[in-house]
Structure 1
Amino acid sequence: MKESTENRCRQFIKNKEVIRKEFSWESTYMYPLCAAIFTMNGKEADGGQLKACTELLRQHTGMFSNFRSTARLPIASLMAVSGNPESTISNALKVYGMLKEEFFGSAYLPLTAMVIAQMAEPFDYERIVKRTRALYKEMKSEHPLLTSSEDSSFAALLSLSERDDSTLLSEAQRCYEILKPQFFSGNAVQSLSHVLALGDGRAEEKCSRTLLLYDRLKERGYKYGTDYELPTLGVLALSESDLMEIVTEMTDTDDFLAKQKGLGNWSIGRKQRLMYTGMLVQGEYVKTGSLETAAINGTISMIVAQQAAMCAAVAASTAAAASNSSS
């Protein structure tokens, strides 16, 4: 494992413990998820700051607001890493109001609002929301049984792309057709297809790299999850790095994390840990912060793809937390 990856892992572990101590009553699904949000943004979690963000969220929203549902802590984490929590929540609520005119309210809609608010300029909110609705409508038409409220986040991310709607959707559909025979969950494959549609290159090439990465990990005894974990694998596949090097870095990183408190097979589970392994390894191979080796549009696409994978993790983790609390 590279030294920089190990440093990122140690930061992830430290962030997780800070969040766990400050929010000891939260679902265990939330700690690594929020730690990943901080780590992927190159930030150290500060318990006091995060608590202040949850209080700010409470002040700006009503008791029954979807912003204060199971996604509350991830939303507060996104506020904290933004550098300006007050402005972030204010803009997100503006976007949320626009989205509610186009979508039924759900626990996923605040996440969609956060994504748009953080990645677009205020003057462009209305256009992006309208485009999000148009893309979602086409997604629903193509896959009526698979497309649900959680896919509004992916529609929003697609709407941030400079590609036209027909290109994005046809690319996503082609990826779906290639990948569906390989994986059981149609929902997961649809999410993965949306991530891959954001990247450059032919659909066949992107799908081939994704499947090769999955197979090589499996050959080494690391069976990657085939549910909401898949979008993260797609982001790694979109990088131009050597796949075998990525596989080695992932297996070494996963071995390291498996030995850490709260990250073993009996804690968060091997498949979920491998997903976070993928997120941490992205820092080595998905160079979104530098424009030296990639065109501006390609860099932006990779940032959006990373956000799409994180949205999938947030949606799934909050659903799991809600299910666990009600059982």
Structure 2
Amino acid sequence: MAVTDMTERYQHIYDEMKQSFKWSFVDKKVLMHAAMTFAGDNIPFDAPRFKDLADRIAKDASFFSPLKQDKRVTVAAVLESKYEDPFRHYQYMKKIYDLLIQKKFKRGSASYSTALVILSAASRSISLDQHVDRTMAIHKGMKKEHPFITSEHDYPLASLLADQVDDPAVLMTRIEEIYHRLSKAGFRKGNDLQFLSHILSLDTDHEPAELVRRTAAAKDEWKKNGMKHKGVHYPITGLLALAGGDSLLFEIIAETAADLNRRKSFRWEKDWNSLVAANFTMKTTLDPDESLTVSMYTSLNTILEAQNAAMVAAASAGAVAATSSNN
């Protein structure tokens, strides 16, 4: 499927979702994230079926659960797009969530995202219990190195890393080297840079210096094509660096982002549009056997889910703060 076709699907699915949830007051970014999930993977979309799944999840959830609110839409999108029996896998996800809580993870949206990541990304080469323990160990390592920028929103990526490494201590040493090299290369310190360094650490075939060189080059190509490069773009820049995309890839991303920026539904979401454009371009242009390792390519959705979950949570928090301020 061409990138332009995927963009049209994205618009169509978003419009259907907006209509389905028009009386539910779901955050716009949540619907865009859900629409991207279906469009990016070329998954058939059935609006009534999707709405029914989201409603079933909300009905099943406890009174104060985030699944009563916008999170039900995000969870429904991931489950509906990946599994033939999404509600049964929702039950599996809940069991993983309960185990996370038993292991002292914080209750809430981030732990539900983590449960989704573990559900879809776990290799089964280690037990579920081991995977959760390793996730907590990696998260504690993050917090030890960066106590002020590490939060529960880093759980999902920690769970992805837990499936890739045997020794969290060795991993954290590699992450820290990449983090400091990126900082010296002009990337701004903070949670976005931490996220980027974690993504790059998934590539164990190249030295940190080479990974940082590629990432700096990807950043330059991004800006060269007229797109603003902010912290929110760091994770996708890392994926593009790992993919080793040429200048044509960035031209397609810029053209796709410009297309989305012109559309009435998305014109005020330029940062998000460039992420969607990069996502679609990578999925339609890159050959996983040639550009990314197969394991890394299959991790693309998981990484984007982790980032998007954090972005949606931040957007929701900002909305709540604004409402409280106005009140």
Please report the TM-score for the alignment, with normalisation by the length of structure 1. Answer: 0.88
Which amino acid is the alignment partner of residue 187 of structure 2? F
Residue 16 of structure 2 corresponds to which residue in structure 1?
18
Once the two structures are superposed, residues 113-151 of structure 1 have per-residue CA deviations (whole angstroms, 9 ceiling, x without a partner) of 011012226783211111111111111111111211111
8 Å CA contact retained: 1:198, 1:304: no
Which amino acid is the alignment partner of residue 106 of structure 2? F
Could you tell me the percent identity over the aligned residues? 22
Which amino acid is the alignment partner of residue 135 of structure 2? T
Q: Distance between the aligned counterparts of 2:291 and 2:212, measured in 1? A: 21
Q: 1:216 aligns with which of 221, 229, 234?
A: 221
Q: Distance between the aligned counterparts of 2:127 and 2:180, measured in 1? A: 33
Residue 168 of structure 1 corresponds to which residue in structure 2?
171
Q: 1:116 aligns with which of 108, 115, 118?
A: 118
Q: Distance between the aligned counterparts of 2:162 and 2:80, measured in 1? A: 25
Residue 298 of structure 2 corresponds to which residue in structure 1?
303
Residue 240 of structure 1 pairs with residue 244 of structure 2: yes
Q: Secondary structure of the equivalent of 2:266?
A: coil
Q: Distance between the aligned counterparts of 2:172 and 2:71, measured in 1? A: 28
Q: CA deviation at 1:246?
A: 1.5
8 Å CA contact retained: 1:250, 1:277: yes
Q: CA deviation at 1:163?
A: 5.3
8 Å CA contact retained: 2:123, 2:163: no
Q: CA deviation at 1:294?
A: 7.2
8 Å CA contact retained: 2:114, 2:159: yes
Residue 47 of structure 2 corresponds to which residue in structure 1?
47
Q: CA deviation at 1:180?
A: 2.5
Q: Distance between the aligned counterparts of 2:305 and 2:166, measured in 1? A: 21
Which amino acid is the alignment partner of residue 310 of structure 2? A
Count residues in correspondence: 315
Residue 192 of structure 1 corresponds to which residue in structure 2?
196
Q: Distance between the aligned counterparts of 1:240 and 1:44, measured in 2? A: 30
Change (3 A) 1:204 1:277: same
Q: 2:256 aligns with which of 246, 253, 258?
A: 253
Once the two structures are superposed, residues 151-190 of structure 1 have per-residue CA deviations (whole angstroms, 9 ceiling, x without a partner) of 1111101011145423432222122112224233511000
Q: Distance between the aligned counterparts of 2:31 and 2:261, measured in 1? A: 16
8 Å CA contact retained: 1:18, 1:47: yes
Which amino acid is the alignment partner of residue 10 of structure 1? E
Change (3 A) 1:221 1:309: same
Residue 92 of structure 1 pairs with residue 93 of structure 2: yes
Q: Distance between the aligned counterparts of 1:260 and 1:277, measured in 2? A: 13
Residue 8 of structure 1 corresponds to which residue in structure 2?
6
Q: What 5-or-longer segments of structure 2 have no aligned partner? A: none
**Bigger mean CA offset, 67-76 vs 127-136:** 67-76
Q: Distance between the aligned counterparts of 1:66 and 1:100, measured in 2? A: 15
Residue 316 of structure 1 corresponds to which residue in structure 2?
311
Change (3 A) 1:89 1:285: same
Higher relative CO (CA 8 A, sep ≥ 6), structure 1 or 2?
1
Once the two structures are superposed, residues 60-111 of structure 1 have per-residue CA deviations (whole angstroms, 9 ceiling, x without a partner) of 3212123334422111111211222122211111111111022122321100
Please report the TM-score for the alignment, with normalisation by the length of structure 2. Answer: 0.88
Q: Distance between the aligned counterparts of 1:35 and 1:177, measured in 2? A: 36
Q: Distance between the aligned counterparts of 1:21 and 1:312, measured in 2? A: 26
Q: Distance between the aligned counterparts of 2:148 and 2:198, measured in 1? A: 16
Q: Distance between the aligned counterparts of 1:120 and 1:287, measured in 2? A: 23
